[in-house]
Amino acid sequence: MGLSVAFAQVNSTVGDVSGNAALVRRARDAAAAQGADLVVFPELVLVGYPPEDLVLRPALLEAAATALHELERESAAGGIGLVVTLPWRTAAGIHNAAALVADGQTTLRFKHDLPNYGVFDEKRVFVAGPLPEPVDFRGLRLGIPICEDIWQPEVTAHLVRRGAELLVVPNGSPFEVDKCHQRLDLARQRVAQAQLPLIYVNQVGGQDELVFDGGSFALNVDGGLAALLPFWRESLYVTHWQRDSTGRLACETDATWVAEDRCSSVYQAMVLGLRDYVAKNGFPRVLLGLSGGIDSALTVAVAVDALGPAGVRGVRLPSRFTSDNSMVDAAESARLLGIQMDTIAIDDAVATTETLLTPHFSGRGRDVTEENLQARMRGLLLMAISNKFGELLVTTGNKSEMSVGYATLYGDMCGGYSVLKDIYKTEVFALARWRNAHHPEGALGPAGRVIPESSITKPPTAELRENQTDQDSLPPYDELDSILQGLVEEEASVDSLVARGFSRPTVTRVQRLLYAAEYKRRQAPPGVKITRRSFGRDRRYPVTNAFREQ
């Protein structure tokens, strides 16, 4: 007996139950037209993933249940079956559920292993289901473990004992660098242990700080890659399964895994994360300050690739410390990308503010206070434009700066989304060079050079005082980022970093800056998760924190 299974790698929207149900129907009908017997959707597709505390709203659960019942009714005439996913309430609580819908009937299975680490806190809102039993579908026994259920062998071992013949796994696995290899290796372990083929259907799209990269796949019993769906975009793909000489199901096709370049995957994550944040929250376009520096140049390139030139407005906000080169580089950025650029000089506004404060600052010399007035005036003006036109203000700060507090609250931190929030400064340079040499698939911006060479090669500077550079206040970025990688990504001790060759005074200073800036990061806008330890969802430190290593 053969089976044709469609992978519906779709981009659902959290909370949009009717829109998600329509998306399910479109994929169902397209899969049926291609002769599929069954179509499989990603995790919690009817409500979007992750729904967080939204699933505690009874009205959301009722809407999802209603959508499921309608899909069940529509299946009564036969035809294609669905593995559709949703939250489901029982007497025990709210479950993360998968529903096999076919022939006017629904069979539910509940997620057993609830992740509670990193970006996941499912134990907060869901209760674990029992070890799931296989479900019968037209003469076959399907095991439907949900996402985390395959990260340990317990669930799949139980399904094997209970007679499952094919593992069908709905997933909501967010992107982080190098994670796709981990998923594939993990799935191969389960296949080898279970001696069953496996279908892995992942979602695609952005949701607040998370972005889902797709890359759904199928494995035969020997661990061979039978199918691989595209990364970074929706896709519907039908696989065909027959019994081999041993009686096991085997996919008739095969596929080749080609690892995506790191810069390519990181850049695509930033583009998709911003695109969906703008679209799903209903913004007409975005704006950002164009300083002529590398961070704003890369950010505006990502924005144009995500939204097209018409979807982006740049604003230059020069002060008396802004160099002519910076003005030229900002204008060149706008020209290369074909975007609207406005210019608002801030000198008069800053001078007026300083005059208002002069009587109150009597006897105190100029310091960082006056520098920050410039950043805050820029934030005020950009927020005014955002308010007037309904455009999303995008910030341009990077992870290195946010790690050590090299950013001004209510100044350059003003905005609703941060493209570079999880990108260290050294990687900003690498991504800028990569983008000038590549035109990403699906990018709406122009091919060729889009970032001025001068923005890449000149010393980074905030230009808040005469002849200022970042290295006046910070270690060189290659050194700083290496120390931050240890402190943030690895939770490495000061002693271990000193043993790697860094000076103790530098490491302890960076650690002190890292801890002291926590209150700023609590007030920073969301930005797409790239690394294993993004600020906010992954790394949750107290603001009040007296612990220091010497």
Give φ, ψ of 283 to 5 degrees.
Answer: -80, 140
CA dist., res. 90 & res. 110, Å (int): 11
Q: Is the alpha carbon torsion for 106, 110, 115, 119 positive or negative?
A: positive
Q: Does 263 qualify as catalytic in the annotation?
A: no
| Active-site annotation holder among 52, 62, 72, 111 | 111
Q: Does 43 qualify as catalytic in the annotation?
A: yes
CB neighbourhood size of 461 (10 A):
19
| Active-site annotation holder among 72, 147, 209, 425 | 147
286 sits in which H/E element:
strand 286-289
- C-alpha 104: how far from chain center: 37
CB neighbourhood size of 116 (10 A):
11
Decide: 393 and 288 in contact? Cβ < 8 Å. Answer: yes
Q: Give me the half-sphere count of Cα atoms (radius 13 Å) on the Cβ side of residue 241.
A: 28
DSSP secondary structure letter of residue 488: I
Decide: 299 and 396 in contact? Cβ < 8 Å. Answer: yes
CA angle (497, 501, 503) in 5-degree steps: 80
Q: Give me the half-sphere count of Cα atoms (radius 13 Å) on the Cβ side of residue 127.
A: 10
Instruction: Provide CB contacts within 8 A for 319, sequence distance 6+.
Output: 345, 346, 347, 350, 374, 463, 464
Q: Is the alpha carbon torsion for 16, 61, 176, 485 positive or negative?
A: positive
Please spell the DSSP secondary structure of 412-464, one letter per residue: TT-SSEETTTT--HHHHHHHHHHHHH---TT--SPSS--S-HHHHHSPP---S
Q: Give me the half-sphere count of Cα atoms (radius 13 Å) on the Cβ side of residue 53.
A: 0
Q: Is the alpha carbon torsion for 299, 301, 307, 313 positive or negative?
A: positive
Query: β-pairing, 93-102 with 105-110?
Result: antiparallel
354 sits in which H/E element:
helix 347-357
| Active-site annotation holder among 43, 122, 148, 332 | 43
Q: Does 147 qualify as catalytic in the annotation?
A: yes
Closest CA to 168 of 251, 51, 265, 264: 251
First to last CA, the chain: 68
Residues marked active site are found at 43, 111, 147
